[in-house]
Structure 1
Amino acid sequence: MGLSDQQARTAGASLGQRGPLGGQCRRGDCCYEVSPFHVVSRLFLAVDGFDLEIGPSTSDVLDAELNGMMMSASEEVNVVADFSKLGRRSVSRIGLLSAYID
């Protein structure tokens, strides 16, 4: 049983998943129409690069825009990055760290 299955079976929890294992709406207009109506308590965001000056970044402009929307709709953002991503800048900035750090 995968993490998604375990999370979905937890009482009082809901799971929104984007990417290869998520629903049919992965990017594009349908995501932009649906995203503003969702509020997420905790977002786990995998990134291509993470720099303290510019924040998290990715190589895809559309992903950066959608990820930024998801960050704005989240109460807590957890950036997932291994050591090779630290200090690295990718093409598209996802969001400013100052907006999310208390």
Structure 2
Amino acid sequence: MTISRQTDAEVDERADLQLARTAELGDGDQSEREIIANLQDRLIQSEMAYAHLEGAIASSRRIGAAIGIVMAVSKVTEEAALGVLKTISQRQNRKLRLVADDIVLTGTF
């Protein structure tokens, strides 16, 4: 099974289409329309949460790889390597994950 990650624009477009379909129900039972709208909203929220978690996992892996690089190059413990990443992040006023991306890309820090 393949799960694709949707952009926010794709999720928004899908939500608009689903709301339009709900409106097409016309003069039907109001509770049916409310149920469908609520289910669609829950689906959209779940898709957004999934995309967020997917990004967080990718960032965590890159940070872990960067910690490993710092450990190997500097011969320090995991905690010390994380401290190095935090220090670089603070001194450069950059997000830790972006610092980690650079270290993984270049192998230097």
Normalising to structure 1: TM-score of the pair? 0.23
> Which structure is higher in RCO with an 8 Å CA cutoff and minimum separation 6?
1
Q: Which has the larger radius of gyration?
A: 2
Compare the two structures and name the one with the higher helix fraction.
2
